[in-house]
Amino acid sequence: MSRPVLVILAALTLVWSFAGLAVAGESDKGQAQVDLSIRVIYAAKSQSPSVDPALADIRDELKDLPASKFRLLDRLQAQVDIKGTAELQLPGDHAIAVRFLGIDKSKGKQMLSLQLSMKPALKISLRLADGGRTLLGGPKHLDGKLVLDISAQLKEAKK
């Protein structure tokens, strides 16, 4: 084959590949969504250690953090479509944007891919098991910091 023919075939292959990805991305959109739940926790150092009874289920995890007083401030809920974003207001002048990137089944376990952004500096990618949760350190608040207990569970979207 001549060189121009090979270049044209390579270009067509790339176009078909990207067209397939775009169609797959559009067909995924709206078919599933994630139930997102964030418990906003105030963490501070204190002479008298305490853990809010509403946080009893994660008491052992909180003990590993560099604080001694933990209080539940808020419970945030959102449903986010694949490729969609939810922006949730945190105490003070802070907000967190959570983007649901999709479902990763590459290693045998269904993982939910999320991207979290908080201005000015936080932008992380996070993979959670379906129904799983994680703790994430947040911004300064009063004399301490916010800690975010993030959980996500996949659910089929209504059509």
Q: What is the pLDDT, as a whole number, of residue 31?
A: 74
The whole-number pLDDT of residue 156 equals: 65
pLDDT at position 23: 28
pLDDT at 72: 97
Number of H helices, E strands in the chain: 2, 9
**Would you state the pLDDT for residue 1?**
45
Q: Are 80 and 128 in contact (CB under 8 A)?
A: no
What does the pLDDT read at residue 148?
95
DSSP state for residue 157 in the 8-state scheme: P
Residues in contact with 50: Cβ distance below 8 Å, sequence separation at least 6, in sequence order: 68, 69, 70, 71
Residue 104 pLDDT: 85
Question: For position 109, what pLDDT does the model report?
Answer: 80
Here the tokens at position 114 are: 């999320």
Give me the residues of the chain with pLDDT under 70, please.
Answer: 1-30, 156-159
Structure tokens at 77: 């809920």
